[in-house]
Amino acid sequence: MSENSTELVNYPDKGQAFLPAIPMIPGNRVNLLENRLSSQERTTAVLLDQAFRIKDDIVSYLQGSKGHQQGETTARQLLENHIQTITSIVKKLSHDIEVLEKQIRTRDNVATGTTFAVQSLDHKYLHGFGDLRGRVARCDASIAKLSGDINIIRHEIQRLEKEIGGIRSTSESYANNLEMKVMRLLDKLETSNSEQSSHLKTVQGDQHHELQLLDFKVNSLLNDLQDQIQDQRKWTETQLRRSEQEQAYNTNQFLNAIKERLEAAEKKLEENVHLSLKLESTNKPQQYEMVLSQVKKYENKLHARITRFERQIWNELEEIQNEYRSGFQSIHEALNSLQQIQMTKLKLEKKKFQKDIKKIRCKVSELQED
190: pLDDT strictly greater than 70 = yes
187 in a domain, yes or no?
no
- Tell me which DSSP letter residue 297 carries: H
Note whether residue 365 is domain-resident.
Answer: yes
pTM of the full structure: 0.27
Would 226 be classed as within a structural domain? yes
Confidence of residue 15 (pLDDT cuts 50, 70, 90): very low
| Residue 42 pLDDT greater than 80, yes or no | no
Least confident of 152-156, 297-301, 366-370: 366-370
Question: What residues have CB less than 8 Å from 107, skipping those under 6 apart?
Answer: 29, 30, 33
User: Rounded to an integer, what distance in angstroms lies between the CA atom of residue 240 and that of residue 234?
Assistant: 10
What pLDDT shows up at residue 242?
Answer: 79
Amino acid at 211: L
Residue 68 in this model has a pLDDT that exceeds 70: no
Q: What is the mean pLDDT of residues 254-264?
A: 73
Total Cβ atoms within 10 A of residue 168 = 10
* C-alpha–C-alpha distance, residues 183 and 177, integer Å: 10
Task: Identify the domain containing residue 270 by its residue range.
Answer: 207-369
Dihedral, 281, 282, 285, 289 alpha carbons, nearest 10: -70
Q: Is residue 346 part of a domain?
A: yes
pLDDT above 80 (res 116): yes
DSSP line for 23-36: PP-TT-HHHHHHHH
2 pLDDT more than 50 = no
Residue 28 in domain: no
What is the pLDDT confidence band of residue 207, given thresholds at 50, 70 and 90? low
Number of domains making up the chain: 1
Residue 139 lies in a domain: no
Candidate ranges 32-41, 181-190, 231-240, 333-342; pick with highest mean pLDDT = 181-190
Handedness of CA 259, 264, 269, 273 (dihedral sign): positive
In a domain, 59, yes or no: no
| pLDDT for residue 284 is more than 50 | yes
Q: Are 261 and 313 in contact (CB under 8 A)?
A: no
Q: HSE of 237 in the Cβ direction (CA atoms, 13 Å)? A: 6
Q: Note whether residue 160 is domain-resident.
A: no
Indicate the average pLDDT of the chain: 72
**pLDDT tier, 194 (very low <50, low <70, confident <90, very high otherwise):** confident
